Amino acid sequence: MAHEAVSSSLAVDEQDSATLHQPTKDATPKINLLGMSRAALEQFFESLGEKKFRAGQVMKWVHQYFITDFAQMSNISGKLREKLEKVCEVKAPEVVHRHYSKDGTRKWVFRVGEGSGSLVETVLIPADDKTGARKTLCISSQVGCALDCSFCSTGKQGFQRDLTPDEIIGQLWVANESYMEDVEVAERTRSVTNVVMMGMGEPLLNFKPVVQAMSLMLDDFAYGMSKRRVTLSTSGIVPMIDKLGEQLDVALAISLHAPNDELRNELVPINKKYPLEQLIASAQRYIKKDGNESARKHVTIEYVMLDGVNDKLEHAHQMVKLLKDLPSKINLIPFNPFPHAPYGRSSRNRIMAFQKVLSDAGFVCTIRQTRGDDIDAACGQLVGQVADRTRRAEQWKKKVAQQHEIVRSQG
């Protein structure tokens, strides 16, 4: 299943392209500029007979001032603005649900196609420090996921499709814009400080669009984020970790969740294809890559704590052994149970005992705070609920239509 997904994502057209939105009945399809890299946008302007530097100007309007209306792009000539309006657009995915939690967590559900199965979610988690300045956005890369990790709500929804670059960067655009709705254009700034590609889907199975979107995150004409603050999290697609290392300098996180192959095969089935020895070796290669010192000093290890499953002290000791030659920081995540989840959350005491073994062995080991519980911030949960509501609404509409049909045929 994962192999098919790898080949489908690698088969993506080599062109650095934007999404063509489906035409409405009488309109010509417009090119969406939102997900275009600087190089692609420069090419686009050249194809219009314009100078390349227009790309940077438009990118700043779109990604730094959150302007989607070409008429407001005041440093661009009226003639060019008219031309742009005719052939292109700047369009983020449609927000169908948003919720802002009391603790500062924000969550959005986006519709990226027809029907209840075409929803993705994005979560913004503010740091629990005095300044509250750090805001981390967890971005989705696919609709659903093919990898079926046994503790994951997204995996249970199955794989629908890969997201396009504009649907991926659109999540960051919407999150930033949500803080700027009432701010004068000239005063606007970017609020999201950190991005983790850790939402729905396996980002390395949607490689090209993810790399294209992440290059916009790093681009000074777009979000200009520090490469240390942009993290890709993978369940361990070994050949793609190497490929990522060749193309982009960003921080790497590994969803490990088990310290031995037997248990990991059960929790993260892709482990059967790329077992731990291969995975750890690829992470070592990633951080050793020349010329990439700042973003790659260590790998972050994500480890969800499942009661009685992977949280025993012997597991902590196995972790110490497994990671001894890999510079790593470990993040223990208390499991957030979802309906029909086959696991429970480890107790606080158990998590702390696990942490102590790792800290005593010299690892930096943190416990993730559970945030946004009031808005179902665990990956995949809110989409599940919104999908249920959409499905119910669709069933209701069908029922009403059937009843009308019956009444008509009787009348």
Which residues are known binding-site members for S-adenosyl-L-methionine?
Answer: 201-202, 233, 255-257, 336
Cβ 255 to ligand SF4, closest distance in Å?
6
Q: Which two tokens stand for residue 101?
A: 């939690």
Cβ 205 to ligand SF4, closest distance in Å?
8
Distant-in-sequence, close-in-space partners of 331: CB < 8 Å, separation ≥ 6: 253, 300, 301, 302, 303, 365, 366, 367, 368
Burial class for 320, CB neighbours closer than 10 Å (0-12, 13-18, 19+): middle
Q: Which two tokens stand for residue 19?
A: 């999404």
Nearest to ligand SF4 of 34, 252 (CB atom): 252
Cβ 133 to ligand SF4, closest distance in Å?
28
SS3 234: strand
Catalytic residue among 88, 138, 365, 379: 379
* 88: annotated active-site residue: no
What is the C-alpha separation between 172 and 195, in angstroms, rounded? 8
What is the C-alpha separation between 128 and 333, in angstroms, rounded? 16
Q: Where does this chain bind ligand SF4 (CB under 6 A)?
A: 145, 147-149, 152, 154-155, 200-202, 235, 255
Nearest to ligand SF4 of 157, 215 (CB atom): 157
Catalytic residue among 42, 88, 121, 365: 121
Known binding residues for [4Fe-4S] cluster are 145, 149, 152
Q: What is the dihedral of CA 87, 90, 93, 99, to 10 degrees?
A: -150
Nearest to ligand SF4 of 55, 119 (CB atom): 119
Nearest to ligand SF4 of 154, 176 (CB atom): 154
Nearest to ligand SF4 of 64, 150 (CB atom): 150
What is the C-alpha separation between 42 and 53, in angstroms, rounded? 7
* 121: annotated active-site residue: yes
Cβ 28 to ligand SF4, closest distance in Å?
36
Cβ 280 to ligand SF4, closest distance in Å?
18
What is the C-alpha separation between 373 and 151, in angstroms, rounded? 17
Q: Which two tokens stand for residue 199?
A: 């939402």
Q: Are 209 and 197 in contact (CB under 8 A)?
A: no
Exposure of 301 in the CB half-sphere (CA atoms within 13 A): 29
Q: Would you name the residues annotated as active-site residues?
A: 121, 379
